[in-house]
Amino acid sequence: ASQRLASVSTAPPDSILGLTEAFLADTNPNKMNLSVGVYKDASGKTPILECVKEAERRLIDDESTKGYLGIDGLPAYREHVRQLVFGDRVEADRIAVLQSPGGTGALRVASDFLVTQLSPIRIWMSSPTWANHPAIFNAAGLPSDTYRYLGSDRTSFDVDAMIEDLDTKTSPGDAILLHACCHNPTGIDPTPDQWKQIAETVAMRQLLPLIDFAYQGFGDGLTEDTLGLYTLLDAVDEAIVCTSFSKNFGLYSERVGAVCLIAADAGAMKASQSQLKAIVRSNYSNPPRHGGAIVATVLDDAKLTDQWKGEVEQMRQRITRLRTDFVTTMKTTGQGHDFSFLLPQRGMFSFSGLTPMQVDQLKQKHGIYIVGSGRINVAGMSEEKMQQLCDAVAAVLES
């Protein structure tokens, strides 16, 4: 029989998950993985939140069916997403919320929507951005291009360069990808004034914002982190927002997110909602129940909601503390190194400014794994290993 599969070539490994494979194989007893974007507590674990454990106990007792959800997911979950993300900022009848398998699933559904409903359309991404963004757009057949984001020092946001690119390169009707907060991979977010500038340009250039909101609560707080999003929504009538509870509920493997579409009026929302549902139906048909049910159970209950907010705040503060500790420790390590540019950065990641060669040395000589771009998962640092980390970084910088 002829072998059709013999001609299939091997796909390149995922750049970040591939690093974890190398990490697991490393026999260095002091090895440290600061590449993958998961939160870790002081004991190095990615914990299940207490509020989630309690919600799951209740679900085991009370859940009465594993029957299919609707194409757009659990109604209670969708309503909580709407309230949490949009509050009273946008009229409820202008927002369609569909529960999705994580933020990634939401981004894919949004991409399919842009391609099938609004083509020809191109999407503009910050350079750099999360590596999966271009991969998702590419898989959906959505043409993408980049706007400048980082200054030449690679440690600050160059808003003028971004605006210039939007002003001179985009066409009316193009989409623009924005990170609502905790920009991945840089950790560098626009200031409130810069958000205003961006929003004005987005409106003037008639761009459709696709807002990736994967880290609500990890920047300045659950409410505070909506600032950029609300500034945009004040300037435009239409947007798509992709949210995720992977990080702020620690529900990574449960795949819980939502794609939210905001239209100018209820009629336009309904039509787009029907198209989003058609896209879902022929893709994964309907979302998984468990993770959405956990979130709905927590947010349906005032006490559990308070507990959740407390747990998010703890994670947020721990990340901020680790970032500050790193900066402080670097100052007094080796010849002393000034990393104070990390302090305004937000979220799990920081761009360290380390070069690919220095990143490689950290891995080869010290068993410390960070992404080639110099992106460090701050949430993966620990107090216990802070000096060891800083010794290694200083050694690499001074070699």
Distance, CA of 284 to CA of 248 (rounded, Å): 24
Q: Kindly list the strands in the beta sheet with 95-100, ordered across the sheet, starting from the edge strand earlier in the chain.
A: 95-100, 257-262, 239-244, 208-213, 175-179, 123-127, 144-148
For residue 142, give the nearest of 174, 170, 96 by alpha carbon: 174
Q: Which stretch binds ligand PLP (CB under 6 A): 27-35, 100-108, 332-340, 390-398?
A: 100-108
Establish whether 247 is a catalytic residue: yes
Establish whether 130 is a catalytic residue: yes
Distance, CA of 314 to CA of 320 (rounded, Å): 10
CB closer to ligand PLP out of 177 and 389? 177
Question: Which of 247, 308, 325, 363 is an active site residue?
Answer: 247
Q: CB burial class (10 A; 0-12, 13-18, 19+) of residue 133?
A: buried
Question: Residue 13 CB, nearest distance to ligand PLP (Å)?
Answer: 17
- Binding string to ligand PLP for residues 281 to 320, with x set by CB under 6 A, is what? ----------------------------------------
For residue 262, give the nearest of 89, 15, 27, 140 by alpha carbon: 89
Tokens of 34: 């600061």
Question: Residue 249 CB, nearest distance to ligand PLP (Å)?
Answer: 10
Question: Residue 242 CB, nearest distance to ligand PLP (Å)?
Answer: 7
Q: Which stretch binds ligand PLP (CB under 6 A): 41-49, 96-104, 156-164, 287-295?
A: 96-104
Q: Which stretch binds ligand PLP (CB under 6 A): 26-34, 97-105, 290-298, 365-373?
A: 97-105
**Binding positions for ligand PLP, 173-212, rule CB under 6 A:** 179, 184, 212
Establish whether 145 is a catalytic residue: no
Q: How far is CA 395 from its chain centroid? A: 32
Those residues whose C-beta lies under 8 Å from the C-beta of residue 327, and which sit 6 or more positions away, are 339, 340, 342, 343
Helical (H) or strand (E) element with 243: strand 239-244
Q: Does 339 bind ligand PLP (CB under 6 A)?
A: no
Distance, CA of 289 to CA of 85 (rounded, Å): 20
Q: Does 147 bind ligand PLP (CB under 6 A)?
A: no
Q: Does 244 bind ligand PLP (CB under 6 A)?
A: yes
DSSP annotation of 179: E
Q: Does 257 bind ligand PLP (CB under 6 A)?
A: yes
Distance, CA of 214 to CA of 103 (rounded, Å): 7
Helix axes 192-204, 159-169, angle to 10 degrees: 0
Q: Does 102 bind ligand PLP (CB under 6 A)?
A: yes
Q: Is 157 helix (H, G, I), strand (E, B) or coil?
A: strand
Question: Residue 247 CB, nearest distance to ligand PLP (Å)?
Answer: 7
For residue 83, give the nearest of 263, 300, 277 by alpha carbon: 300
Question: Which of 72, 124, 130, 308 is an active site residue?
Answer: 130
Residue from the set 35, 99, 104, 377 that interacts with ligand PLP by CB under 6 A: 104
Site size toward ligand PLP (CB under 6 A) is 13
CB closer to ligand PLP out of 35 and 244? 244
As annotated, the active-site residues are 130, 212, 247
Binding residues vs ligand PLP (CB under 6 A) = 37, 102-104, 130, 179, 184, 212, 214, 244, 246, 252, 257
